[in-house]
């Protein structure tokens, strides 16, 4: 059986149309994703009943979100969220070694949003890749689970899962098979944990 690819964090524009959830469904299906996490408010998450046999949309909410949404924290909030294990995954500041240590200790997966690399160029892009490598080195020593998300605010920033695995492989110098796990097995395990909490 083939892998099922997951992008656990996207931010559709509220205006809908091509940049809303319908755009995510169209492009995500074309790119062969099985699941896409959509960051929505609590009320929007209740209304996310789009049915597509090829693609499942799951609600994702920042730390304050409730209900059955997968919870995440980013930036400065990631350290506290990782320390008290109040979220399903974090996107910490790459230079925050303490947040990474808390994530490893509490088995909170850490995500790398590849949109940062797509939207930046030159020195800034090189700096992001360097910071990712340093963070990965620290996290892998602590046995922390890691994975890749798009973090896309526009469906057209979604990339083919094979390209995403190649990006993780080349930027972080991890084996290609491990990079494939980062867009399939690891995010799927986060969804399973959240569903277990719901039941």
pLDDT per position as a tens digit, 56-80: 888 898 865 556 689 999 998 999 9
Q: What is the mean pLDDT of the segment spanning 159-183?
A: 96
Contact 82, 92 (CB under 8 A): yes
Confidence of residue 47 (pLDDT cuts 50, 70, 90): low
pLDDT at residue number 109: 97
pTM, two decimals, is 0.90
Average pLDDT value for the chain: 87
As to burial, measured by CB atoms within 10 angstroms (0-12 exposed, 13-18 middle, 19+ buried), residue 183 is buried
**From CA 82, how far away is CA 32, in angstroms rounded?**
31
pLDDT at residue number 103: 95
Q: What is the mean pLDDT of the segment spanning 97-104?
A: 93
Alpha-carbon distances of 11 from 44, 59, 86, 125, 158, rounded to whole Å: 12, 11, 21, 21, 11
Q: Just give the CATH number of 5-198.
A: 3.20.20.140
């Amino acid at each position: 059986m083939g892998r099922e690819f997951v992008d656990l964090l996207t931010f559709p524009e509220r205006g809908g149309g091509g940049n809303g959830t319908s755009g995510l469904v169209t492009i995500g299906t074309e790119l062969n994703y099985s699941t896409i996490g959509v960051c929505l408010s609590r009320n929007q998450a209740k209304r996310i009943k789009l049915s597509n046999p090829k693609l499942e949309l799951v609600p994702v909410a920042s730390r304050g979100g409730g209900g059955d949404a997968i919870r995440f924290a980013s930036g400065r909030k990631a350290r506290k969220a990782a320390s008290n294990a109040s979220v399903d995954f974090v996107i910490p500041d790459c230079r925050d070694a303490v947040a990474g240590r808390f994530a490893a200790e509490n088995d909170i997966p850490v995500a790398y949003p590849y949109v940062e690399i797509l939207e930046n160029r030159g020195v800034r892009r090189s700096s992001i890749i360097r910071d990712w490598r340093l963070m990965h080195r620290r996290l892998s020593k602590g046995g922390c689970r890691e994975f890749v998300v798009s973090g896309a605010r526009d469906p057209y920033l979604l990339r083919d899962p094979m390209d995403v695995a190649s990006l993780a492989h080349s930027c972080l110098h991890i084996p290609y098979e491990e990079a494939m796990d980062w867009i399939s097995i690891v995010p799927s395990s986060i969804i399973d944990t959240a569903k277990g909490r719901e039941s």
